[in-house]
Amino acid sequence: MRANRTLEIGTGLFVLLGFAALLFLTTQLPANGLKLRTAKSGYHVEAEFDNIGDLKVGAPVTMAGVHVGEVAGIRFDSRDYKAVVSLRIDPQYNQIPEDSFASIETQGLLGGKYIGVSPGGLDSYLKEGGRIEQTQSAIVLESLINKFFASYSSKGGGDSQSQAADKQTKVESKK
């Protein structure tokens, strides 16, 4: 009977572990799955963006390249048609000026988006529920390329030298 008991406990543990792993894979990994987020310490600030690109919840927030927090939530403001991003900043970084500037940047060539914060000059600091007013949207590569080609084709092609000359005359005429 004793040996039977250990066998059943062992099997039970194995099955439990297996289903826990399956549950983790199906709910935690896919983006549309349920998320069990542990509440982390720190304070939350909000920032509005015209376009957040493919910024995702959990993406890092950095200042001068140093990780200071993460994106805690993203929602759509249906009145202003803007994306409102909630940032959770680690508690030790409590001296971020209120007029700081948040921009969405890209990690490396193919990397994901993250939020870079550049400090402002005010003496008052961001607090829980605060708001970063100055923001810059994500740069969408396709629209950038489109703009480039649009400006290129509007000049009717031509070789680079004549284009450079063209630019020069434009600048001069502006003056």
Asked if residues 69 and 94 have their Cβ atoms less than 8 Å apart, the reply is no
Residue 102 β-bridge partners = 117, 135
- The smaller minimum CB distance to other proteins, of residues 14 and 149, is found at 14
CB of 115 to other proteins, least distance (A): 11
CB of 141 to other proteins, least distance (A): 14
Q: Of 87, 91, 88, 90, whose CA–CA distance to 103 is shortest? A: 87
- The smaller minimum CB distance to other proteins, of residues 27 and 146, is found at 27
- The smaller minimum CB distance to other proteins, of residues 93 and 114, is found at 114
- The smaller minimum CB distance to other proteins, of residues 31 and 150, is found at 31
Residue 106 β-bridge partners = 113
Site residues (CB under 8 A) for other proteins?
7-8, 10-11, 13-15, 17-19, 21-22, 24-26, 28-33, 54, 56-60, 67, 70-71, 107-112, 114
CB of 139 to other proteins, least distance (A): 16
CB of 168 to other proteins, least distance (A): 35
Residue 88 β-bridge partners = 44, 70
- The smaller minimum CB distance to other proteins, of residues 24 and 125, is found at 24
Q: Which long-range contacts (CB under 8 A, 24 or more apart) does 106-114 make?
A: 106/138, 106/139, 112/54, 112/55, 112/56, 112/59, 113/52, 113/53, 113/54, 113/55, 113/56, 113/59, 113/138, 114/55, 114/59, 114/60, 114/61, 114/62
CB of 12 to other proteins, least distance (A): 9
